[in-house]
Amino acid sequence: MANTTSGKAATKLYPVRHYVKVMLLISFSVLVLDLAISIASIFIVKQQSTRYLQDTADLYINRINHDFAYINHYMGWTLANDESLNTMNAFRINSIEFLKSNENLHKRFTELQKNYGLEYNFFYYLKNQSYFLNCAPISVTYTDYRELKKQIISYIDDKELYEKFYSKWTPVLVNGKYYVINIVPYYNRYLIGLISADHLIRPLRQINLGANGYASLVDESGISLTSPVSNSGKVLQNNDGVFNRLQPRTTISSEFTSTTFSAEMVIKFGAFEKIMIAQLLIMLLFFIVTSTICVVMLFFKRRVLGPIQSFSENLARINEDGQPADLKSSKLIELEQANDQFKDLVEQIKTFKIAMYEQELEKQQIQLDYMKQQIKPHFFLNCLTSIYSMAQIQMYQEIEDMAMSTSKYFRYLFQNGENFVPLENELEHVRMYLEIQRQRYRDAFVYHIEMAEQAGSVMIPPLVLQTFIENSIKYAISRDSEVQIKLTVGRCADEEDTELTIIQISDTGPGFPPEVLEKLHSGLPLDQTKGTHIGIMNTLKRLEYLYAKKAAVSFSNLPEGGAVITLTLPDQPDLSSGMERSL
């Protein structure tokens, strides 16, 4: 008895949810721990990196602001107090006084340039003499110098000079390159300070912002004023790619004072995001997560996936009408219970399949009978409408002929309950229908019917041709001109030597409206809410059922006007086999 009890304890069964809960609990705990540590590490690193770069940028911006302010003050003081410019403005350009004063001015600004860097350029402009020249060594090319001279003179002639440039460093575009200038006016003489945007941002580009990080100057509209070069010296590519969008980045912006632009630094994979501690943490967490997932998946495969695979193989035997196998060692209660239940249901499933097949056959036969009976009163109502119209205009003889023709037509129609009739009989009914309509519309249309000799005995569904002829009568007849309706029947064989009957119905009316023709080509149902298109949609459904989707109907318009309907019908199919395939 003790051995039996211990054996039961060793083979205790557990439901699937027990194993799933254990797996989810372990995976969720590891992932949460991994996520928390990763987020904390990245947040701390990014915060420190951003704070360091922000402080560095602020120090540089403050220095530039101080330099700009001093240069502005120096140029303004020189204009107001230095006698060199007064002398140069009073004498001719080639005079000794002018040249000496120019030399003194050049020395003054050369000393200023040594203090703030050779990248700063200084020019003066004497409006009375229309004289523009540098007053310190320049670091711009001669081509840029000539373009700068032209632009600066145009700015000076602008009435809004004080608003745009006075005490305000402003970016200007010269030959595809941006410069930052400041124009200080004093009566008819001006001093100009200038520095390249790339030179101005150069100190910030010495900071490590990552392999793809960059520093740039941007104007008030967000347009970059500096060349597209990263801090590592690489030319920046288009940033619209998916990879560049997914790269983590940190953007730091700093505003200059008395300028119309600002500095922007973008960190991409900076050094602070790749420090050793973060790398060790990421590697350790990756190892923990990978190891845990491997252990969990091995456990899951052994305890869950293995028994499920065995159960799936057992189900395959059921589908193949084989004998289900026993699952006594799956360790999963649900699988063993399901296996026993499927054994009992095998015979019930077979019986249900047979019953469902028979019900589907009966359902399709009912649908065919309903659609065929729906077409009969549809035409009958049209005939009654025609007789009523004749009675309104007292066409008594025509009413007698119309009533007799209608009576003969429906007497034959109601006597025929078959799904297929000989084609020659159906054509005779079409002629009778067209004669009935000729009594109604008089000489509004003419018709012509052609049939190949071997096509008369072909079996086709009744009322199919009448439906499309009726559509031509309804939409093509006009009081303005005589409409021609033509019906031709031919026989041919396809590539598989299957005998086909080709029936084409055409008229010279306005043709199908574009929206209706588009729906017919796309196989979409037509709008029947207003009682229209019922006959066409029912006929297409009948052909689909009766020919097991092997019949084809095409709709088109003639280039000169008129509708064309082409029916391609195989010889009468075996209806029962077709429905069996559809099941």
Q: What is the pLDDT of residues 538-548, one digit of tens each?
A: 788 888 888 88
The DSSP bridge pattern shows strands 189-196 and 120-126 to be: antiparallel
Give yes or no for a contact between 581 and 468, defined as CB atoms under 8 angstroms apart.
Answer: no
Identity of the highest mean pLDDT range in 42-56, 95-109, 193-207, 401-415: 95-109
CA distance 232 to 222: 23
Task: Give the predicted TM-score (pTM) of the model.
Answer: 0.43
Nearest to 225, CA basis, from 210, 214, 241: 214
Stretch 512-519: mean pLDDT: 86
CA distance 238 to 437: 72
Q: What is the pLDDT of residues 67-93, one digit of tens each?
A: 888 998 999 899 888 888 888 888 888
- Residue 21: per-residue pLDDT: 67
Give alpha helix (H) positions in 247-302.
Answer: 276-300
Stretch 19-32: mean pLDDT: 69
- Residue 187: per-residue pLDDT: 85
Task: Between 252 and 82, name the one with better pLDDT.
Answer: 82
- List, in order, residues 6 or more apart from 24 with CB less than 8 Å away: none
- Residue 42: per-residue pLDDT: 66
Identify the band that residue 565 occupies on the pLDDT scale cut at 50, 70 and 90: very high
CA distance 501 to 337: 58
- Residue 518: per-residue pLDDT: 86
- Residue 462: per-residue pLDDT: 81
Identity of the highest mean pLDDT range in 2-11, 392-401, 514-523: 514-523
Stretch 287-299: mean pLDDT: 74
- Residue 331: per-residue pLDDT: 61
Task: Between 364 and 176, name the one with better pLDDT.
Answer: 176
- Looking at this protein, which amino acid is placed at residue 569? L
- Residue 122: per-residue pLDDT: 93
Stretch 325-330: mean pLDDT: 53
Identify the band that residue 346 occupies on the pLDDT scale cut at 50, 70 and 90: low
Give yes or no for a contact between 179 and 141, defined as CB atoms under 8 angstroms apart.
Answer: no
Stretch 144-157: mean pLDDT: 87
Task: Check residue 531 and give left, alpha or beta (phi > 0: left; psi -120 to 50: alpha).
Answer: left
pLDDT higher than 60, residue 125 = yes
pLDDT higher than 60, residue 269 = no
Stretch 309-333: mean pLDDT: 59
pLDDT higher than 60, residue 244 = no
pLDDT higher than 80, residue 218 = yes
Stretch 451-477: mean pLDDT: 84
Exposed (0-12), middle (13-18) or buried (19+): which is 285, by Cβ within 10 Å? middle
Average pLDDT for the chain: 76
CA distance 156 to 184: 10
Identity of the highest mean pLDDT range in 277-291, 390-404, 407-421, 494-508: 494-508
Nearest to 499, CA basis, from 488, 507, 490, 508: 490
pLDDT higher than 70, residue 7 = no
Q: What does each C-alpha distance from 223 to 152, 171, 219, 233 come to in angstroms? A: 22, 11, 6, 20
- Residue 489: per-residue pLDDT: 94
pLDDT higher than 80, residue 325 = no
Identify the band that residue 449 occupies on the pLDDT scale cut at 50, 70 and 90: very high
pLDDT higher than 80, residue 250 = no
pLDDT higher than 60, residue 272 = no
Q: What does each C-alpha distance from 242 to 170, 238, 246, 502 come to in angstroms? A: 35, 11, 6, 56
Give yes or no for a contact between 406 and 383, defined as CB atoms under 8 angstroms apart.
Answer: yes
